[in-house]
Amino acid sequence: MRSEDIPVLTTGRTILRAPIASDFDDCTALWGDETVTRFIAKRPFTRDECWARLLRKIGHWQVMGFGFWVVRDKASDEFLGIAGFAEHRRAVIPSFEGLPEAGWVFAPSAHGRGLATEVMMRIVTWADENIESDTTVCMFDPEHHASRRVAEKVGFTVRGDATFHDETVLVMERARKAR
């Protein structure tokens, strides 16, 4: 799937478009910020890790037919973050392999403005219409209360605790809305 074939989505305040190589500097700033990554990896990502993460976001659409979007401010074109669905095939116990995993990461300038909820509402609506799975999941550090609030607002409910890289994570799930 070419980047121009990836759907462009909009919300009241944002535009969601395909990730492209020129997003590297914005993504490096995002994933290199310890405020952003403290609940993801407990440390900022290195430049080469950021490049690999961006390539994974770009390539995911090719393989799975769904993936992550870059989120930009509709009025200013400011980079706000990334959000979407992936099949990471993580070594999570118990496994949820085969289920699309929702994720969202926003720059500190976007925090506390309701943007994550706004964007994820749009993305789960898209998923309900375009992803075949009847269930989607999301996973995060149990202490990441802001992400849990976003997940709950868009319809995810607690599935239970799991283990990932010897750490306890919270897994939530969401049933697809009727088409």
Task: Give CA angle at 57 (18, 54), nearest 5°.
Answer: 100
Taking each helix axis from N to C end, the angle separating 47-64 and 24-31, rounded to the nearest 10 degrees, works out to: 120
Q: Which fold has domain 3-133?
A: Aminopeptidase (3.40.630)
At 179 the pLDDT is 59
At 4 the pLDDT is 78
Give dist(CA 145, CA 172) in Å, integer: 13
Nearest-CA neighbor of 137 among 179, 105, 178, 169? Answer: 169
**Above 80 in pLDDT, residue 5?**
yes
Strand ranges, E, within the chain: 9-10, 14-17, 68-73, 79-86, 92-93, 101-106, 135-140, 157-164, 167-175
Alpha carbon separation from 114 to 13, 68, 119, 121, 146 (Å, rounded): 10, 19, 9, 11, 10
Tokens of 156: 């995810």
* pLDDT tens-place string over residues 116-136: 999 999 999 999 999 999 999
Give the domain ranges of the chain.
3-133
Give residue 36's pLDDT band: very low, low, confident or very high (50, 70, 90). very high
At 1 the pLDDT is 62
* pLDDT tens-place string over residues 38-97: 999 889 999 999 999 999 999 999 999 999 999 999 999 999 999 999 999 999 999 999
136 contacts: CB under 8 Å, gap ≥ 6: 85, 99, 100, 101, 102, 124, 127, 173, 174, 176
